[in-house]
């Protein structure tokens, strides 16, 4: 079980942490109870989600896996909810084409959607780490980020919805 807290969670200044497995807030009282009854507690350092330190290898190091899982939370394919901790990491720009092995070029994709991206006409672009624009084989576009999946309607869509302003 992973619980995310700040230095002020247990002092009462900010009395809420976040239970990662359930994506829900948890009170400092509950955290204290868990700490009192736990047989093992592992404290890990804070990971800067904006940090990007590339490595000179195709293989993705564990520190990148942890950072991308914390940033992406779930598979970043449209509408997928598989936890990022159970996903592959995809090189957005392939390593063989000069793409770095760096969290800024790594995206959490479950095995099914990793294969769809690699072996079909699905593609995506990184807007910024954690925010992606996907294009389906039929030309539909979706923005996927920490708020979920949002279709992007273009002026020529039959739905008639106007195109969103450029960001």
Domain assignment present for 75: yes
Domain assignment present for 163: no
Same domain, residue pair 72 and 133: yes
Q: Which pLDDT does position 154 carry in this prediction?
A: 74
Domain assignment present for 164: no
What average pLDDT does range 54-64 have in this prediction?
Answer: 92
What percentage of residues in the chain have a pLDDT greater than 90?
Answer: 57
pLDDT band with cut points at 50, 70 and 90 for residue 158: low
Is the per-residue pLDDT at 60 higher than 90? yes
- Among residues 101, 72, 99, the alpha carbon closest in space to that of 86 is found at 72
Same domain, residue pair 66 and 136: yes
- What is the tally of structural domains in the chain? 2
- Among residues 91, 93, 121, 127, the alpha carbon closest in space to that of 108 is found at 91
Same domain, residue pair 74 and 10: no
Same domain, residue pair 29 and 70: no
The residues, any chain, with a CB within 8 Å of residue 145's CB and separated by 6 or more, are 127, 130, 131, 132
Residue 103 burial by Cβ neighbours in a 10 Å radius (0-12, 13-18, 19+): buried
Can you tell me the distance from the alpha carbon of 135 to that of 119, in angstroms, rounded to the nearest whole number? 14
Query: Are the C-beta atoms of residues 91 and 106 closer than 8 Å to each other?
Result: yes
Is the per-residue pLDDT at 125 higher than 70? yes
Domain assignment present for 48: no
Question: In terms of pTM, does the model score above 0.85?
Answer: no
Q: How far is CA 65 from CA 54, 85, 99, 159, in A?
A: 13, 8, 17, 39
Domain assignment present for 54: no
Same domain, residue pair 91 and 141: yes
Domain assignment present for 146: yes
Can you tell me the distance from the alpha carbon of 121 to that of 113, in angstroms, rounded to the nearest whole number? 12
Q: Which domain holds residue 29?
A: 3-37
């Amino acid at each position: 079980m992973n619980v995310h807290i700040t230095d002020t969670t247990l002092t009462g200044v900010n009395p809420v942490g976040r239970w990662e497995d359930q994506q829900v807030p948890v009170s400092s009282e509950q955290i204290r109870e868990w700490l009192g009854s736990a047989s093992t507690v592992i404290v890990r350092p804070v990971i800067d989600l904006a940090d990007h330190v590339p490595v000179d290898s195709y293989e993705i190091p564990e520190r990148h896996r942890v950072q991308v899982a914390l940033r992406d939370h779930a598979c970043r394919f449209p509408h997928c909810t598989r936890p990022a901790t159970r996903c592959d990491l995809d090189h957005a720009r392939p390593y063989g084409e000069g793409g770095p092995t760096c969290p800024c070029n790594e995206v959490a994709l479950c095995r099914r959607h990793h294969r769809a991206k690699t072996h079909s006409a699905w593609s995506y672009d990184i807007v910024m780490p954690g925010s992606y624009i996907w294009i389906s084989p039929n030309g539909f576009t979706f923005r996927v980020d920490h708020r979920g999946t949002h279709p992007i309607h273009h002026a020529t869509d039959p739905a008639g919805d106007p195109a969103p302003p450029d960001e």
